[in-house]
Chains A and B, each alone.
Chain A
């Protein structure tokens, strides 16, 4: 595995994907703020959560890049198309799993129980549709971009 490429392009792809998601939120296309959702796992401090979440998201993004690199090595091919396909799978996994986070996330409300004791994040709903109708499309787009960047620049060893 080309660790240098994973760290370099995984980091760059994560930054670009995060920027695209933030732009999407600013334009009202989605309210799925992965940094905020991740950050509120660590803290209830509203100001601190996005910063911590951004760091965690970056670490997770590089972690996923190792998974992509492993897949490239196994497939014996690394290019933008393969990266895009992996990005679609990656996004689908997140969109499917996100609703189940309500049970694991310490500060996310559940559609079954609600916020019993304290204010919490709204649940994402099926395919994160509670975060906006365009969220699935936008989530897939951002992750495809992430996959394309890693796939296009990762050098097989």
Chain B
């Protein structure tokens, strides 16, 4: 079932409604959609197996593609140029906001696709083939006449397809697809187990200049599906969606040189946010490989605490106060459930994700197996997350937010846990599945946790559970341990683990998180060591030591932005800008990043789009602007004073 012709990761763009998201290839194929939530089973899963369902709108003849997002929105516009003419496809997941005065119902989710012939004539094709439960089950299709095509099975999810293109059921493999992402041949790959399935429906229409067709797919969990009108009503929903994104982004306070990149990153972050709880996901996908064809395939549809403080700082400093408040509320609610110990990751509602499982029936992205759901890292021990949590709380309070009594008590308990646990080994920020070690970064973040604890106490934000002197004694002990074992005179650098000699890109954060002066001799040495050991073609790997996994991963997207941010804090602004622009150079054509970049090919690796990378981009851009004397304008609102709340 291997499909070497699956589109490259960078050939995808994303649309979403802050509950779930869809990946769309340059060939107009939605190859990934999970409903009703990001972490639910997929209904379109061709990304991981050509037979796991897809939803295509494209020309039937070979074409060339250009794409963009409508300015300041998550509405995607794909232009297909064929020999006979040009069509423009506009894709969005409509935000569930009702236009004023409307009496219509809001669907659970809607993917709205509008295709317009711009010049000449083009025959287009619509193909809809959902498969439930990660492709395990074909959908049963019922023609509801003027109310559309109903796709369901004996589960909780159902979809309704409304279109003004006449649709017909076709046998498996006979979908007549004439175009592909590259403009020739078929990228269909054929359904491995859908032969003759009535769940595959195809329609064709010949469009001449000015002609428009609509395709609307609505989904519902458990209840009746909402059916949506086409035509002008669909245009209004698209316009409302674009307007909603623009209004949301109008809060962006960034005023530096990299405005377009920062705004795109904030749009990605918002798209990955889950408003019912305030959580922000790491990525939309599972099991996109970190090494081509390899086994480094993980499920990233969860929320990692390691991203917490940087996420919150970016949100608060760039003007997205409500999202920052919601994220901190999720963080504190979530960690309350497992206190005083913290887990590495949680699901969008703050629950422990299901155990890691392998989906043997899926071929994997370009044959990269296994496909995993759930994430085994949940059971790991990582001490750096205590520092992340307390640093996030400190940012929140310093921005004017207030902690309630329960939150303050929780954070004080976390401080106690740090004092009792920091001497123990852990698995480190990179979740290495080897025996636990004494990671330098983890120790430093424990120091940061206690430093933030004292700072919060100084601002009357929380009580201390032990004396200030006792906490300061622990901090001294941590620093002594790092000085003795985590610093290498030979390397003139902090090293990955105690008494080791390996480089670790995470040690750059020591100069960003307040543990070390960013312009100190030690941080300059550490940066030089990391560049010497981990840089390749201007990109930075997170490490090169053996992590117990087969294959070799690519350069880690966010590490390049850490380097740029550290250079900016050292006052090396030209170098910082060069490093930043190099790190940005491998964004795809619509400004999105995966987790990693293959230094040899420049292709993307790992799950996509990746919040961590976009957070790093926004944070580095903010720091470069600040260092150049152009700090972000003051946020219009501060925590606790969010008057206008706009949620989709």
Contact = CB atoms under 8 A, between A and B. Distances in A.
Interface of A: 25-29, 31-33, 36-37, 40, 44, 46, 49, 106-107, 109-125, 129-134
Most B-side CB within 10 Å, residue of A31, A46, A110, A133? A31
Contacts of A120: 104-105, 226-227
B105 A44 contact: yes
Given A33-B223, A115-B227, 12 more contacts: A109-B146, A110-B146, A111-B145, A112-B145, A119-B227, A121-B225, A122-B144, A122-B227, A130-B142, A130-B224, A132-B154, A134-B154
Interface in B144-178: 144-148, 150, 152, 154-158, 160, 162
B80 to A, nearest CB: 28
A119 B104 contact: yes
A118 B224 contact: no
A25 B224 contact: no
Contacts of A124: 224
B146 A114 contact: yes
Given A111-B146, A114-B147, A131 B224 contact: yes
Nearest to A128: B224
Range class of the B interface residue count: 35 or more
B96 interface: yes
A115 B147 contact: yes
Nearest to A29: B154
B154 A28 contact: yes
A27 B152 CA distance: 14
A134 B156 CA distance: 12
A119 B146 contact: no
Nearest to A27: B156
A134 B154 CA distance: 8
A122 B225 contact: yes
In the A-B complex, list the 6 residue pairs whose CB atoms are closest, starting with the nearest. A118-B104, A114-B146, A28-B156, A111-B145, A119-B104, A25-B222
Nearest to A44: B103
A37 B147 CA distance: 16
A40 B144 contact: no
B222 A111 contact: no
B107 interface: yes
B140 to A, nearest CB: 8
A116 B223 CA distance: 22
Contact of A33 (B140, B142, B147, B224): B224
14 contacts: A31-B225, A46-B96, A46-B106, A114-B145, A114-B146, A115-B147, A118-B229, A119-B104, A119-B107, A119-B218, A122-B158, A122-B160, A122-B227, A131-B224
A36 B221 CA distance: 13
A44 B160 CA distance: 19
Interface centre among A27, A107, A116, A120 (most CB of B within 10 A): A120
Contacts of B220: 31
A57 B361 CA distance: 43
B310 to A, nearest CB: 33
Nearest to A123: B147
A153 B154 CA distance: 35
A33 B221 CA distance: 11
B357 interface: no
